Amino acid sequence: MDKQHIINQTRDFVKNASYGEGSGHDWWHIERVYKLAKFLAEQEGANLFIVEMASLLHDMDDWKFRDLDKTSTIIEDFLCSIGVDEESRTHITMIVETMSFKGGVEDSSQSTIEGMIVQDADRLDAIGAIGIARTFAYGGHKNQPLYNPYIEPYLFHSLEQVKKADNHTINHFYEKLLKLKDLMNTKTAKEIAVRRHQFMQQFLVEFYGEWDFTS
């Protein structure tokens, strides 16, 4: 198995599939997660090949955009076609299928260090300055208002509620983003998360200050 060749082919495959994605899950998100995951893998001593492959493929299964069962088959077929061995295929698809947050309702906990790392990298890209930018881009994609002081943050109890919720973007910070720092699996990711978390808190202070402007 020529690992570098396989990784290059996977990059091309994902790049083609994610072209034109306008909701914050575009190719640049994948690229950032890939780089972060690689760094975490080196620091934490994980299997680099599995981490690279799973981070490249991690959003192909995103429940918000695509049909999970169909995508799993597409990924499995693709991995087969480029000559990835069965053990690696099973590990990679397991990570991709189980890692997303899904409103915090379904269990997304990872059983391997490689899965923990890809999940951490994806969560790190959801917070900090990039996280703020992505959150408002996603809110716009969903036609959500920036903020409505009369709608309080809501804790979801089922996936259906997550999908139907009529919400504003600031609430997303309380429902998800501010929780992510404490959900990091690895020590390295926890350290990176601290600064990004503080930046979001600072952003919210500024936001409310401007919203309630008094001279």
**Binding stretches for Ni ion (CB under 5 A):** 59, 122
CB of 77 to Ni ion, least distance (A): 21
Q: Which of 13, 17, 37 is nearest to 26 (CA)?
A: 17
Could you tell me the maximum CA-CA distance found in the chain, to the nearest angstrom? 66
**Residue 52 or 122 having the CB closest to Ni ion:** 122
Per the CB < 8 A criterion, the answer to whether 102 and 119 are in contact is no
Q: Check if the beta carbon of residue 68 is closer than 8 Å to that of residue 61.
A: yes
Q: 53 and 6 in contact (C-beta within 8 Å)?
A: yes
Interatomic CA distance for residues 79 and 97, integer angstroms: 15
Return the number of the residue (147 or 179) whose C-beta is nearest Ni ion: 179
Phi, psi of 183, deg, nearest 5: -100, 0
> Could you tell me the smallest distance in angstroms from the CB atom of residue 150 to Ni ion?
31
What is the smallest separation between the CB atom of 30 and Ni ion, expressed in angstroms? 7
Q: How far is the CB of 122 from Ni ion (least distance, A)?
A: 4
Report, in Å, the least distance between residue 186 CB and Ni ion: 17
Reference 30, options 53, 2, 47, 46; nearest CA is 53
| Residue number, 52 or 59, with CB nearest to Ni ion | 59
Q: Which is nearer to Ni ion, 59 or 114 (CB)?
A: 59
- The nearest distance, CB 25 to Ni ion, in angstroms, is 6
Amino acid at 91: H
The rounded distance, in Å, linking the Cα atoms of 133 and 209 is 19
Measured distance CA(61)–CA(87) in Å, rounded: 20
Both tokens of 114, joined, read: 């490689």
Q: How far apart are CA 40 and CA 27, in angstroms?
A: 20
Q: Which is nearer to Ni ion, 46 or 56 (CB)?
A: 56
